[in-house]
Chains A and B, each alone.
Chain A
Amino acid sequence: MSARALTFRAAALILLVAFITAPQLFAFVFKPLTVNDAPAIYNHGSLLALTLSHLRTVFLATLASTVLAVGLGIFVTRPSGSEFLPLSRSLVNIGQTFPPVAVLAIAVPLVGFGEKPTFIALFLYGLLPIFENTLAGLSEVPPQALEAAKGMGMNARQRLLQVELPLALPVILAGIRLSVIIGLGTATIGSTVAAKGLGEVIIAGLQSNNVAFVLQGGLVVALLAVLIHDGMGIAERAVAKRLGRPVDEVA
């Protein structure tokens, strides 16, 4: 990574942390956007608390999706689950035509307002990219490597843990990253169903016609997403490199 790219990332991170911990310092930037002396900085709760609860929801939901999706991906690629493989591929394709908002919206009348529907929507929708990538990663393992592993007397478990999963790992990580990014966005919309998160700032701005709120909420969420996406991308490349893979130019 070039020094310029690194300083750019560091600056973005510092800016983000500074803004969510001490937003008043930046009031002068947002003041011109307000009318009728409305507050320039979101004042119904601490940005830091909102950010943390936003991240917590996304983290927990993605963790749950990862466990289930990787487990399912392993299951349908074993001989005992192979009857489910063609259908599960189609389901992933069909599932992704479903907008994440729809999952959120349908969950609300079923489980009520708050964190729950958001968590369910994030969890369900997050399954798709991880499952898809687990399938892709596991089926891209070179057949010769598997043949050799079998020929050297590795049992099914050893083949899975020592050959298949390590080789599929970078692809699975890419799926998790996608899932996290979609989750960050869906969790933002989750604020419309009263989940604690950064969407609150934007929604509050829209309701009170305060463009300053809308903009700062948008910026914080955007910066957070870009930095997380970037950070996970770096982690993926590090893993791929450690696994001896040549790394693509643009992921």
Chain B
Amino acid sequence: MIEIEHLTKRYGETIVVDDVSLRVEEGTIAVVVGTSGAGKSTLLRMINRLVEPSSGRVLIDGRDTLSIPEDELRHRIGYVIQAYGLFPHRTVSQNIATVPRLLGWDRKKIAARVDELLDLFQLDPGEFAGKFPHELSGGQQQRVGVARALAAKPAVLLMDEPFGALDPVIRSKAQDDLLAIQRRLGATIVLVTHDMNEAFHLGDRIAVMDQARLLQYAAPAELLTHPAEPFVEQLTGTAERPFRLLSLTRVKEALEPGDAEGEALVLSTTLHDALARLIALGKDALPVIDASGKAVGRITVERILAHGRLPA
């Protein structure tokens, strides 16, 4: 768990981060979004003290980060940056082993951990362990960057635009992979991005920043239905808000009893995708089945539209 309390950073007269407080629960992803220059990266870098706060404090699992020596603190916090910062002179496995080596793990334990991570990120150890970063594709470099950050089993993972350098197709795959790995490891992640879609895709909670201030910190649906300020509404895309809302909601929540003709949808489908299917097929309703294939009810255009309606 990360608790950020009244964190402020000033450079001379300029305030870069202005009295920000927020709390990231154990095992969740908090996404910080905002325009460039909003103070997102500075906020992130104050968590591992790459930037020293002017005032306020950060607690990790209840402990004030200022009470831990800088380097020791960073050993416990995974850190991924946009260009990954892989060491060009070290192989993939040496890169991943960086923090374990700093911590003085024994060779066997390091080797086992590296193999485990390579497997987890779908990089065949036989093929990739000995490669140098410049021999990898962008997507592979990104995975090595995240694997390296996770190597010493950190309590917290900080990610600064980790998908920024990937092209759109690889990016969404990488996001799905990250989600899967996060669910599996139960890691606590703070991720900075300027991409709203990414924020809605990944965030358990989203923090919106503008001009050094935290405008709103809430669950994605809350952000759409009750934007705290006009800027939040604008950032989430005024026109797209109903559709974003639909993609956050599953068929399960709009299910109604009854039957319908046509190809069945699964309970876990998002309303966004269900509506798309209904429009494409020119139907008003479709049957719904659960994971085992048993019919459980139906979904209608009318109900979906009701779910997309924003409170006045």
Contact = CB atoms under 8 A, between A and B. Distances in A.
Interface string A119-152: 0000000000000000000000010111111111
Contacts of B70: 153
Interface stretch (A46-54, A56-64, A195-203, A243-251): A243-251
A246 B86 contact: no
B88 A142 contact: yes
B79 A145 contact: no
Interface residues of B, number: 30
A154 interface: yes
A147 B79 CA distance: 10
A188 to B, nearest CB: 37
A153 B79 CA distance: 10
Nearest to A144: B85
Interface in B112-153: 132-135, 148-149
Contacts of A163: 87, 89
Contact of A148 (B71, B75, B85, B132): B85
A166 B98 CA distance: 15
B84 A148 contact: yes
B90 interface: yes
Given A151-B79, A152-B74, A153-B99, A243 B88 contact: yes
A157 B13 CA distance: 33
Contact of B90 (A144, A244, A246): A244
A144 B132 contact: no
B81 interface: yes
B85 A246 contact: no
A176 to B, nearest CB: 18
A152 to B, nearest CB: 5
Interface in B44-59: 48, 50
A24 B135 CA distance: 54
A145 B98 CA distance: 12
Contact of B74 (A142, A153, A167): A153
B74 A145 contact: no
Given A158-B102, A167-B89, A244-B133, A151 B74 contact: yes
Given A150-B50, A244-B90, A144 B84 contact: yes
B249 interface: no
B153 to A, nearest CB: 14
A155 interface: yes
Contacts of B158: 151
B71 A147 contact: no
A153 B81 contact: no
The range of chain A's interface size is 20 to 34
Contacts of A244: 88-91, 132-135
B79 A154 contact: no
Contacts of B72: 153
B83 interface: yes
A195 to B, nearest CB: 40
A149 B85 contact: yes
Interface centre among A142, A144, A148, A246 (most CB of B within 10 A): A148
Contacts of B296: none
Most buried by A among B79, B88, B148, B158: B88
Most A CB atoms within 10 A — which of B90, B148, B158? Answer: B90
A147 B84 CA distance: 9
Interface centre among B72, B132, B134, B135 (most CB of A within 10 A): B132
Nearest to A170: B89
B146 to A, nearest CB: 12
A148 B88 contact: no
A152 B99 contact: yes
A146 B74 CA distance: 14
Contacts of A152: 74-75, 79, 98-99, 102, 148-149
Contact of A246 (B75, B84, B102, B134): B134
Interface of B: 48, 50, 70-75, 79, 81-91, 98-99, 102, 132-135, 148-149, 158
In the A-B complex, the 4 residue pairs with the closest CB atoms: A148-B85, A244-B132, A153-B74, A151-B79
8 contacts: A149-B87, A151-B85, A152-B74, A152-B148, A153-B99, A154-B98, A154-B102, A245-B89
Given A144-B84, A163-B87, A167-B88, 11 more contacts: A142-B88, A144-B83, A145-B88, A147-B50, A148-B86, A151-B48, A152-B79, A153-B73, A153-B74, A244-B90, A245-B88
